[in-house]
Structure 1
Amino acid sequence: MNLDYLVIAPHPDDAELGMAGAILKFKAEGKKVGILDLTSGEPTPHGSLEIRARETQAATEILGIDWRGNLGLPNRSLEPTLEARAKLAGVIRELRPKWLFAPYWVDAHPDHVAATELIEAARFWAKLSKTDMPGQPWHPQRIYNYYCVHLKQAPQPAFILDISEFWEKKLAAIRCYESQFVTGRATEPPTFIDNLRDEAAYWGKAIGTKFGEPFACREPLGIRSLENLV
């Protein structure tokens, strides 16, 4: 399979939280999109492997993506080891995505920081020749970073994507993860979902739309025209 975009997430639900609106937008534009979760996300207070698998499947169906996999790395102790790098690079070589999406590189969650370091190293390794990794050498053109952070930050994104048309469907995908975002959460406003909506509205306001998702990039962005700028 040749994907247009591969979203790589430390845990199931991170891709949905950070960029489900973008994923839905990409699919509406006819792009082939995949998600690779690096870990199972377990253990958590109200989850289990079986519960998380059901929740992930439900969210995947809402997103309508072309492929989803799990690398099976350890939750809570994710590290950018050489073994993990080779494993991830092998998936990249087999799926051959044009772009990668990774978590933002500054975070309080060690798994998120390790994931981004791992993704950047695996992107480089994926293009190597004379290796026993599966598939043929492949080098994704870009890595873009979505925000799904555990720090109270005021980010300065490289760009903000208008997801107004897809907000309700993004919310439906996030609600699939009931064990993470409903069970055991405060029910008095502002709830976790209330805060998500406020954040999306903030980013939408920044570009004159209803809802938005911010993205970062370590490299300069190139554009062919100003026509599509909001």
Structure 2
Amino acid sequence: MLDALVVSPHPDDAELGVGGTIVRLGKQGWKVGILDLTSGEPTPLGSPERRRAETAAANERLGGPWRENLGLPNRSLQADLASRRALAAVFRRVRPRLIFSPYWEDAHPDHTAATKLVEDARFWSKLSKSDIPGQPFHPSRILYYFSVHLRIAERPSLVLDVTDELEAKVAALNCYRSQLVDNQPAGRPGVIDSVCDRTRYWGHMVGVGHAEPFASREPVGLSRLDSLLL
């Protein structure tokens, strides 16, 4: 049983968009998991074996959360009925109260397909009289994280302080050498630099060192205000 589940189109998307939050929630006693939808392969410098090793190393840097791969096709991810059923079955099995999903606007077709798939599977997960394995379950909320291939300014509904978790996030990102290190242009800022610039920006906006932004399609309800950062 998980408190929160990060659904990641490819290995490394969870670390890019939610890495600090995963570590922070783990410190706070949350049971957090990551579900990679695809292997992420093929890529120019990767292989299935290398990606599995990189993912295992990165997951260790995040504190060892529960993690599985759904085995859906990279580059051809679709929100079809079979994929929806498979993802809904995972939701029923691990029963997360909160789901972190990719942001709904992106240039990468796998990412937008993943968003649609998460939303559809969340609905199917609660259905009775279905052939989906497990007991009906409806995750309470979806928060959308930013790991996008589109040059847009994020429009978050909330941001979470990850100042103390940035070191672990960067360590996890550096484990993906085939995707985020070895393929970066020499002498120029790379993907990891850009990620840190964005977390620094959102941290500045709320008066902390680094923060990760999240969007919500629905109102965010609070029971107390004393943890708001001003």
Does the Cα contact within 8 Å between 2:15 and 2:173 map onto a contact in 1?
A: yes
Per-residue deviation at 1:190?
2.0
Aligned mates of 1:139, 1:95 — CA distance in 2: 11
Cα deviation code 1:66-95 (max 9, x no counterpart):
310011100001000000000000010010
Establish whether residue 34 from structure 1 lines up as the match of residue 33 from structure 2.
yes
Establish whether residue 25 from structure 1 lines up as the match of residue 49 from structure 2.
no
Aligned mates of 2:117, 2:190 — CA distance in 1: 33
Does the Cα contact within 8 Å between 1:143 and 1:217 map onto a contact in 2?
A: yes
Larger mean CA deviation between 124-133 and 72-81 belongs to 124-133
Write the letter of the residue equivalent to 1:187: A
Task: Give the direction of change, closer, same or farther, for the CA distance of 1:150–1:228 in structure 2 (3 Å limit).
Answer: same
Instruction: Write out aligned runs for 1:179-190 (5 A).
Output: 179-190=178-189
Per-residue deviation at 1:189?
3.0
Larger mean CA deviation between 104-113 and 193-202 belongs to 193-202
Residue matched to 1:133? 132
Does the Cα contact within 8 Å between 2:59 and 2:65 map onto a contact in 1?
A: no
Write the letter of the residue equivalent to 1:167: L
Per-residue deviation at 1:193?
2.2
Cα deviation code 1:108-167 (max 9, x no counterpart):
000000000000000000011112211100000000000000111112100011100000
Does the Cα contact within 8 Å between 1:27 and 1:65 map onto a contact in 2?
A: no
Q: CA RMSD in A?
A: 0.8
Residue matched to 1:56? 55
Aligned mates of 1:93, 1:183 — CA distance in 2: 38
Instruction: Write out aligned runs for 1:10-159 (5 A).
Output: 10-159=9-158
Residue matched to 1:227? 226
Per-residue deviation at 1:192?
2.5
- Normalising by structure 2, we get a TM-score of 0.98
Aligned mates of 1:68, 1:138 — CA distance in 2: 20
- Normalising by structure 1, we get a TM-score of 0.98
Secondary structure in structure 1 of the residue aligned to 2:90: helix
Aligned mates of 1:70, 1:141 — CA distance in 2: 23
Secondary structure in structure 1 of the residue aligned to 2:194: helix
Residue matched to 2:165? 166
Q: Percent identity?
A: 55
Does the Cα contact within 8 Å between 1:32 and 1:65 map onto a contact in 2?
A: no
Aligned mates of 2:23, 2:76 — CA distance in 1: 30
Write the letter of the residue equivalent to 1:138: F
Aligned mates of 1:69, 1:194 — CA distance in 2: 28
Secondary structure in structure 1 of the residue aligned to 2:67: strand
Aligned mates of 2:98, 2:189 — CA distance in 1: 35
Count of residue pairs brought into register by the alignment? 229
Per-residue deviation at 1:16?
0.2
Secondary structure in structure 2 of the residue aligned to 1:152: coil
Does the Cα contact within 8 Å between 1:33 and 1:65 map onto a contact in 2?
A: no
